[in-house]
Each structure stands twice: as C-alpha cells, then as structure tokens.
Chains A and B, each alone.
Chain A
C-alpha cells in the first residue's frame, strides 16, 4: 500500500506547501508563487491518476494497445491555462497595488488602509 500510494502522499505534501505559502505569507508576490505551486501540485495529482503501468503515451501507434489515460492530461491542459491566466491577473494586480500603496506586504497595506 505504501508503495502504491507514496507519490500521492508526496503530491499532497507539495500541495500543502503551496497552500501554506498562500495563507501564511504576507508578501503578495510570494502568495502568487504559492498559488502556482498549489495548482501545479494538483496537476501532478491528476496526471499521476492517469498513469498506467507499462502504458505508452496516448498517441495512437500501431502495435501498441496499452496507453496511459489521456483524459486527465486533457483536463490538466485546461487547468494549466487557467493557472497562468490567474497568475497574470494576480501579478498585474500586485503591480497596481504596489503603485497605489508603495508596498507589496500585507501588513503595510493593512496599516495604511486602517490609517486612511
């Protein structure tokens, strides 16, 4: 069982690392990086599900019958795209926030908002 599941567990570990960065760190850019790690790890999880022992990449070739599961790949292509889209938006927000507050640290921004 351990052998059967260990890489799911590692993936979970990766996910949680990303998740932790997002909710624990005050630096907006670092948050975005964390978000990316989180999402990438989810992608790894899905793709791992699709793997079939001794399976070939899902590109039809004569003589090959056993392919890895292509569906997770498709889903994750979409997920990656969504990921980069979100990242781009988040980063441009960071830039604007930095222009408006002169900082990308949550604490600074918060104190400024309280004072204003």
Chain B
C-alpha cells in the first residue's frame, strides 16, 4: 500500500505534519517531530526515484479520478531527481535548524518557523511531482507564502522590506504563470500536462499560445531569479535566518528551474520552444549576462551572505545556459548543476550560519583570521567555494565540464570562454575570503571558538558530498542524462 501511494505521500507527509507540528506548540517537541517528518520525506523520495528507475514513469490519480478529469501526479526520472534534491536538503538543513533556530529566534517564533519550513517543503515537493498545470500554481503559493514567513523572521529590519519586495515580485510571477496557464487552458480545455502536450500542437500556431508561452516563461523566470529579474533575491537571502537562506537557496530556485523545464520541454515541446519561439537565443543572452554581471557585483559585496546570494544569481545563469542549448547534453548539464549547486550553496550558507552563530555577523571583517579561530567552518566555505569556481574533484567541475562540452558540441566555443571567465570571477570573490581568513590575524581570537558539532556535522555532510559527487558521478550523471532525455523526448 505504501509503495503504491509514494507519489502522494511525498507531499502529504510534510503537508499533514505542518498543522500537527503547529498543534504541538512547544519547540522542543516540534523540532524532533519536524526532523522525523523530513527524514520520512527523504526516504519516500529515495523510494520514488528507485521506483521510477525500475518501472519507468509513475502516474497517480488523486482522488481516484483518472486524468485529465482529476489531478494527476506524474513522476518521471526528471522530477524524481529534483524531489530527491529538495527532500535531501530539507532533511539535512532541518537537522541543522534545531540548534541554529534555537539560537537565532525567540522561543515563541521557533515553532512557527519549523511549521513554515514544513509547509515550504510540502509546497516545493508539490510543485515538483504534480502533473497538473494549475496544481503547480497552488503549491507554488504554498511554498512562496511559507518562504516569505521564514525570510521575514530575519533579525535585521531589512528582512521585512526584503520580504515585501520578494512577496510583490513573487506574486507577480505567480500571476503571470496563472495568466499563461489560463491562455493555454482556453485553447485546449485541459490543465493536465500530458493532455496539454498532446493537444497543444493543433493550436500551436496561434497568437494565444505564443503569448501564453511568453507569460509562463516570464513568470517562471521571475521565480527563478534569472537576470535581470533577480532583484528580490540578494536581500531576501542576505537578511533571512541562516537556516532559511540555506534551505531556500538550495531548493526554491532549483524547483523554479524545474518548472521552466517542465513547461518548456514537456508541455510546449522542444520544437515549439526552440524553433517556433526564440527561447534558446533569449535564454542564452540572459544566461551570459547572468554569469558575468552578478558574479562581478558579488566581488564588491562586504556582506558575505549577500555576496553568495549574487553568486547564486550567477550560478543560475550556468544552469539556464545549459538549458538554452535545448540539447540532451545541455539540459543534463543544467540538471547536473541544479544538483551540484544545491549542495555547494547549501553547504556554504550552512557554514555561514555557523559563523553567524559564533560571531553574530556575516560581514567580511568577521572573517579576519577565521582560518585559525574556526578552521572547520572556514574550510567548509573554501571547499564549497572551490566547487563554485569549478575546481576539478569538486562537484562544480563536473557540471561545468558538461556545460562546456554542450557548448562546444554546438560549436559555440566563445561560450566556453564565458564559462571560464565566470570561474575566474568566482575565484576572485572566494579569494577575498581566503585572504581575510588565512592571511590576516584575528583581532579577538580569544572568544571566537569553532561552531558546535550540531551545526558542523550537517554542514560537512553537505560539503563532503560535493567532493564525493565530484569524484564518483555514476548516480548524478546517470540520472541527469536519463532525466534530460525524458524531458527532451517529451510525452509524444
């Protein structure tokens, strides 16, 4: 019975756990409960991926109403992969949250945070596994609203304005998607993704579908913070509580990118998106700008969370660049980088959380002599950073390697140059920290100690995995390639 209902359980477990956790009220009860939930969710997603790899695509009819009349949950290698990323980060970060949140939030807010976290997890997973275009919108809102809550809990008052901006941009993005879905619906009469994919070609050559495509793409790009629609991201990441930043940075944008892939490749189809519509060219240009400009801006940041937030915008650029080729190699490079970047950025933000836990600051000055005072934390940041640079033997290298290969495959060798230039920029902003941490003397070496194990353990679990997936890539490359093929071939 369990295995038959895995797709539903993937979302239901956290979704149901949220109100129950809310009823528990006491943080010391809520956190273990939430942790248990996230672990269960992780197990489910592992099982789900296994099932997909064994039996191929799984279709689950919610409420027993067969699609297109009911809502279908449709799991293939692509979204099983993304779901795994999300729930894995969800579990690890939740483990970390126990200590970090107790330190960063007043007691009566801790429960609220954990509940919001669970809702966010449920929302993201809901977006990932659903096979219904409108259902995407609903769960997009669940995850967005809960993200706003988490971000707004940041200590600095700027967290509030950041959240407001995020809320406005996010809602606009969601509404754009809603409009796009509406236009698709009015032409086809269906909301089920597979059904849409089958019925769109008949009406593909209509102006309505063109503008539907435009609205969906713009809306999603707002959500995934594609340059220049990234305005909401830096402050939101910079001023949110450490845990929120780590979780959101490693999952939310990734899920948004998945949604883009799902709509563009599965629903509209490669030929429509890349031949009828100039999606490839547009994305490519934006991706190049995204790689170069935000990475440059990052160099000049003194708030290090903000620095890595900008770096995230840049890294999204890499993913989008891969997608913009519209080839299997390119998309799989993108998927690979979704996975690897989730790990690297997650790890880095967790490490920054350790720093904040001890020093109460994430400003550049806080890094003075950190190599001596908090060697493990700093080492984590460096290793993660090397991943961003794309140094061999880190996960980051693998995805960049595939990205460049995808570019050369298309004969776009200048893009290879762009990617390498991006790596150099990353090296520069990483170097800022390294110089501060290892070649400066700590001014108050006495009271700053290494972060507690409860924080270091999850941090290093993530960081170590970036190394592991930089050396043993059977899982990542295998699944990513498979997923890319399923997406490209679509349902036809």
The short answer to whether A and B are in direct contact, CB under 8 Å, is: yes
A binding-site residues for B, Cβ under 8 Å: 15, 19, 22, 28, 31, 35, 38-39, 42, 45-46, 49, 72, 75, 78-79, 82, 85-86, 89-90, 93-94, 96-97, 100-101, 109, 113
Chain A residue nearest to B178 (CB atoms) is: A42
When each residue 146-182 of chain B gets 1 if its CB lies under 8 Å from chain A and 0 otherwise, what string results? 0011001000011011011001100110110011001
CB of A88, distance to nearest CB on chain B (Å): 10
When each residue 185-206 of chain B gets 1 if its CB lies under 8 Å from chain A and 0 otherwise, what string results? 1100000000000000000000
* Contact call B145/A49, Cβ cutoff below 8 A: no
Which A residues are CB-close (under 8 A) to B186? 49
Q: Bound complex: CA of A96 vs CA of B377, how far in Å?
A: 34
Which A residues are CB-close (under 8 A) to B174? 82
The contact of B161 among A31, A89, A113, by CB within 8 Å, is: A113
A22 touching B172 in the complex, CB below 8 Å, given contacts A49-B186, A90-B167: yes
* Contact call B175/A97, Cβ cutoff below 8 A: no
Chain B residue nearest to A79 (CB atoms) is: B178
Q: Bound complex: CA of A83 vs CA of B24, how far in Å?
A: 29
The contact of A22 among B148, B157, B163, B168, by CB within 8 Å, is: B168
* Contact call A86/B161, Cβ cutoff below 8 A: no
The contact of A35 among B141, B145, B148, B168, by CB within 8 Å, is: B168
Beyond A28-B164, A42-B182, A90-B168, 9 additional pairs, beta carbon < 8 A = A19-B172, A22-B168, A35-B171, A35-B172, A96-B160, A97-B161, A101-B157, A101-B161, A113-B161
Q: Which chain B residues numbered 315 to 358 have a C-beta less than 8 Å away from chain A?
A: none
* Contact call A49/B179, Cβ cutoff below 8 A: no
The contact of A86 among B145, B160, B182, by CB within 8 Å, is: B145
- Does residue B213 face the partner (Cβ distance < 8 Å to A)? no
- Does residue B293 face the partner (Cβ distance < 8 Å to A)? no
- Does residue B138 face the partner (Cβ distance < 8 Å to A)? yes
Chain A residue nearest to B163 (CB atoms) is: A93
- Does residue B232 face the partner (Cβ distance < 8 Å to A)? no
* Contact call B168/A89, Cβ cutoff below 8 A: no
- Does residue B308 face the partner (Cβ distance < 8 Å to A)? no
The contact of A45 among B138, B149, B161, B182, by CB within 8 Å, is: B182
CB of B295, distance to nearest CB on chain A (Å): 24
Which B residues are CB-close (under 8 A) to A39? 171, 175
Q: Bound complex: CA of A101 vs CA of B158, how far in Å?
A: 10
Which B residues are CB-close (under 8 A) to A42? 175, 178-179, 182
Q: Bound complex: CA of A72 vs CA of B172, how far in Å?
A: 20
Q: Bound complex: CA of A28 vs CA of B163, how far in Å?
A: 12
* Contact call A85/B182, Cβ cutoff below 8 A: no
Q: Bound complex: CA of A42 vs CA of B174, how far in Å?
A: 12
- Does residue B134 face the partner (Cβ distance < 8 Å to A)? yes
